[in-house]
Amino acid sequence: MSKHSGKNISISKERMYQVIRNPLITEKTTTISEFNQVGFNVPLDATKFEIKAAIEGLFSVKVTAVNTLRQKGKVKRFKGVVGKRNDVKKAIVTLADGDSIDVTTGV
């Protein structure tokens, strides 16, 4: 347990919908779903505490852990013009035993 595990944070419904942008539906996230984990795209400024509060508030589940990662945008070429994809932050949320989120349905 981390030293902040007992910290409860309350955020508005509007911020909850801003924090949880969309679920990640990839081969890897379907694999981790066996371990009661779900992936979401989140804003770059979202904290783990905000993500936990948003998931618990929107889906009525108990979150045991939140892992985040920042994916740097790739430099790509399109018809000779150099461009850069945006940076992305992803959250891998571990749910308590017995809880689940069906990512194929809307919120």
Q: How far is CA 84 from CA 32, 75, 76, in A?
A: 29, 4, 6
Other C-beta atoms closer than 10 Å to the C-beta of 67 total 13
pLDDT for 7 equals: 63
Task: Tell me which amino acid residue 37 is.
Answer: Q
Q: Which tens digit of pLDDT belongs to each residue from 21-76?
A: 999 999 999 999 999 999 999 999 999 999 999 999 999 999 999 999 999 999 99
Task: Note the pTM of the prediction, 2 decimals.
Answer: 0.82
Q: Which tens digit of pLDDT belongs to each residue from 70-103?
A: 999 999 999 999 999 999 999 999 999 988 888 7
pLDDT for 2 equals: 46
Q: Which domains does the chain have, with CATH numbers?
A: 13-95 (3.30.70.330)
Q: What values do phi and psi take at 14, rounded to 5?
A: -60, -45
pLDDT of 1 over the 50 cut? no
Task: Tell me which amino acid residue 93 is.
Answer: V
Rounded to whole angstroms, the Cα distance separating 45 from 27 reads: 26
Residue 79 CA from chain centroid, whole number = 33
